[in-house]
Amino acid sequence: MPPPRVNKKPNNETTTKDNRGILDDPFKFLDQDYQELKKSCITSNKRFVDDKFPPNSSSIDPKNKLKLALNKIEWLRPSKIVSDPQLIVQGVSRFDYSQGPNLGNCWFLASVGALTFRKEVMDQVMPSDQSFGKDYAGIFHFRFWRFGKWIDVVIDDKLPTIDGQLVFVHSKTSNEFWPALLEKAYAKVCGSYADMHAGQVSEALLDFTGGVHVNFELEKPAIDLWSLMDRAAKTNALMACGSRHGDKSENVLPNGIVQGHAYSVTGVFKVTWQGKPVKLVRVLNPWGMGEWNGPWSDKSSLWNTVSEKEQTKCRSLANDGEFWMSMEDFTKNFEEIDICCFSPDFLDSSSKCSWTTTCYNGSWESGTTAGGCINNKESFWTNPQFRVRIEELDAECASGQCPENILVSLMQIHENRYRSLVSNYGIGFSVYLIPPEANER
C-alpha cells in the first residue's frame, strides 16, 4: 500500500490573516449591512423592507409544502398587531413562547428553550442594540454560527399573520416579539419558513453557539450519564433531546410524551426519597403545553414524600410544558440527548483540565481523494488523513481523570442556501492509534 498523504497544517480561522467571521466581526449575510441599512432608513424616515427576504409567499413556502392558505396571510409589523410592541418583556424565558401549529420546527424551538438559560449566548445571538424604542426603523439583526464562521442576519419586522394572529411561533405575552423575529431570521438563513420543517436539534444548537456538539444514545447510555449531564449543566452547556419515534408522527402517548418530538433539557436535580437519592431530569415541550404524567410529573404524589425545600425548588403545577422525570424514565422514553457547549470540559471528571481546539478544512474529490469506506481496500488509503498528537496531561489535570481525551467532530458544509434542497452525503471518519515506534519515524 502506498504511504498516506497526511494533511499537517490546520486551516484554522484564528491563525489566518483574515479575521472576518469571528463573533466581533461577523460576515454580512447576503451582503446586508445592518448599521448602514438602519442609518439609511432613519435618514429617509422610512421603515426597512427586506428585498432579500421579501414579505410574500416566497419567504414562507415557495412550493406550498405546508398547505397553508397563502392568500389569507397578511404581513404585519408588530405595531400593527399590538399597540405597545416590545422586543423583550421582563427578560428572556423558556416560557415566553409556544410553537405554532403550522410548522414542524420543534427541533429549532427546543434549541431556543435551551438557549434562554444562557444569557451570554443569547446576547451573542440577539444583539442588545435594538428595540422598538429610540431609532426604531423596522429593522433587526441576529447572529448565527455557520460552518466555522459567524454571520450577521438582517430582517425587517413584517411578520406573517392570519386575522391578526401570528402564523408560526407566538409569544404567551402578546406584545413580546423576540421569538417571532428570531424564528424569521433563522428562516431567512434556511431559505424560507417551510425549509425549517423537520430537522435535528443539533443543527440549531451549533448555529447558536459555534461550540462542540456531543450526542449520546439513551438505549445504552454512557456510564453515569446523569452525572455527565449534571456537569454539562454547570458549565453552561445547552441540552436537548428527542423522544422515540412511533408509527405516527407526533403521536401523544397515554403518558403524555409526544413521539418523534424534540424537547429541551432544562435541568437535572437529585432528591431524597425514602432515604435514597433519586436522579431527576427536567424536560420542556416547545409546544408550551403537554407534559409527562408519570412518576415525578407535576401532580405526582411522589413529591409529597420529599422535603419541603426540595418541593419548593423543583415542583411546579403549571401546565407550561415543563416537567420532571426520573433518569430511568428519561432513558426509556427518549432516544438521544444532544449537548452543545463552548468546550467539552464536562466530559472530564476534573474541572482542572482545559481543552485546545484545531480546525481543518478539506474535501473529498472524485478520482483523487474520495476513497470510499474501509470496504474499498484498494482506494481507502487515498482519503484525506490527519495525524494528531495528543500531548500528555500535566500532573494537576491527570490527577482528576483517566487517560487523555480527544473529541473529533465532522461537519458537512451545505452547497445550497435552501435547507430542504441540501444533499447530505454519506460521510464519516475512522480513528486509528499509531504505534509509538511508527510515530517516531
Q: What is the DSSP string of 13-82?
A: TTTSS--TTBTTB-EEGGG--HHHHHHHHHHHT-----TTS-SSHHHH-TT-TT---GGG-EEE-HHHH-
Q: Which domains does the chain have, with CATH numbers?
A: 27-196 (no CATH), 211-339 (3.90.70.10)
| Mean pLDDT, rounded, for 134-146 | 95
- Residue 285 falls in the annotated catalytic set: yes
CA gap 113, 122 in Å, rounded: 11
Indicate the DSSP class of residue 195.
G
> Given this model, what pLDDT does residue 354 score?
72
> Given this model, what pLDDT does residue 350 score?
59
* pLDDT for 243 beyond 50: yes
Residues 316, 299 contacting (CB under 8 angstroms)? no
CA gap 339, 134 in Å, rounded: 38
> Given this model, what pLDDT does residue 409 score?
84
The set of long-range contacts for 374-377, using a CB threshold of 8 Å and a minimum separation of 24, is: 374/430
Candidates 102, 105, 285, 333; catalytic one: 285
DSSP characters over 336-371? EEEEEESSGGGGSS-TT-------------TTTT--
Per-residue pLDDT tens over the stretch 335-374? 999 999 887 777 776 556 677 778 888 888 888 888 998 8
pLDDT, averaged across the chain: 88
Per-residue pLDDT tens over the stretch 65-78? 898 999 999 999 99
Burial string for 49-65 (b: 16+ CB within 10 Å, else e) reads ebeebebebebbbeeee
Among 157, 141, 158, 195, CA closest to 30? 141
| Mean pLDDT, rounded, for 41-60 | 97
Candidates 213, 261, 333, 383; catalytic one: 261
Residues contacting 58, CB < 8 A, separation 6+: 192
- Residue 106 falls in the annotated catalytic set: yes
The helix or strand, by DSSP H or E, that contains position 338, with its residue range, turns out to be strand 334-341
Q: Is the pTM of this model over 0.85?
A: yes
Reported as a pLDDT band with limits 50, 70 and 90, residue 147 is: confident
* pLDDT for 138 beyond 50: yes
* pLDDT for 3 beyond 50: no
Residues 188, 153 contacting (CB under 8 angstroms)? yes
> Given this model, what pLDDT does residue 26 score?
95
What is the percent of the chain with per-residue pLDDT over 70, rounded to a whole number?
92
* 205 against 5, higher pLDDT: 205
Q: Is 283 helix (H, G, I), strand (E, B) or coil?
A: strand
Ramachandran class of 66: left when φ > 0, alpha when ψ lies in -120 to 50, beta otherwise: alpha
* pLDDT for 228 beyond 70: yes
CA gap 254, 223 in Å, rounded: 30
* pLDDT for 10 beyond 50: no
Indicate the DSSP class of residue 211.
-
> Given this model, what pLDDT does residue 349 score?
65
Candidates 41, 106, 190, 340; catalytic one: 106
Q: Considering only 10-19, 39-48, 170-179, which range has the smallest mean pLDDT?
A: 10-19
Indicate the DSSP class of residue 304.
G
* 219 against 283, higher pLDDT: 283
Q: Considering only 84-98, 191-205, 310-324, 337-351, which range has the smallest mean pLDDT?
A: 337-351
Q: Is 431 helix (H, G, I), strand (E, B) or coil?
A: coil
> Given this model, what pLDDT does residue 52 score?
97
Per-residue pLDDT tens over the stretch 388-430? 888 777 776 666 555 677 888 888 887 778 888 887 788 888 9
CA gap 385, 193 in Å, rounded: 38
| Mean pLDDT, rounded, for 31-50 | 97
Burial string for 82-99 (b: 16+ CB within 10 Å, else e) reads eeebbbbbeebebbbbbb
> Given this model, what pLDDT does residue 399 score?
63
Reported as a pLDDT band with limits 50, 70 and 90, residue 169 is: very high
> Given this model, what pLDDT does residue 336 score?
95
| Mean pLDDT, rounded, for 155-166 | 96
Q: Considering only 33-37, 198-202, 297-301, 344-348, which range has the smallest mean pLDDT?
A: 344-348
Residue entry with cell 461537519? 411
* pLDDT for 15 beyond 80: no
The helix or strand, by DSSP H or E, that contains position 282, with its residue range, turns out to be strand 276-284
> Given this model, what pLDDT does residue 437 score?
76
Per-residue pLDDT tens over the stretch 313-331? 888 888 899 999 999 999 9
What is the percent of the chain with per-residue pLDDT over 90, rounded to a whole number?
58
Indicate the DSSP class of residue 434.
P
| Mean pLDDT, rounded, for 374-385 | 90
| Mean pLDDT, rounded, for 1-18 | 42
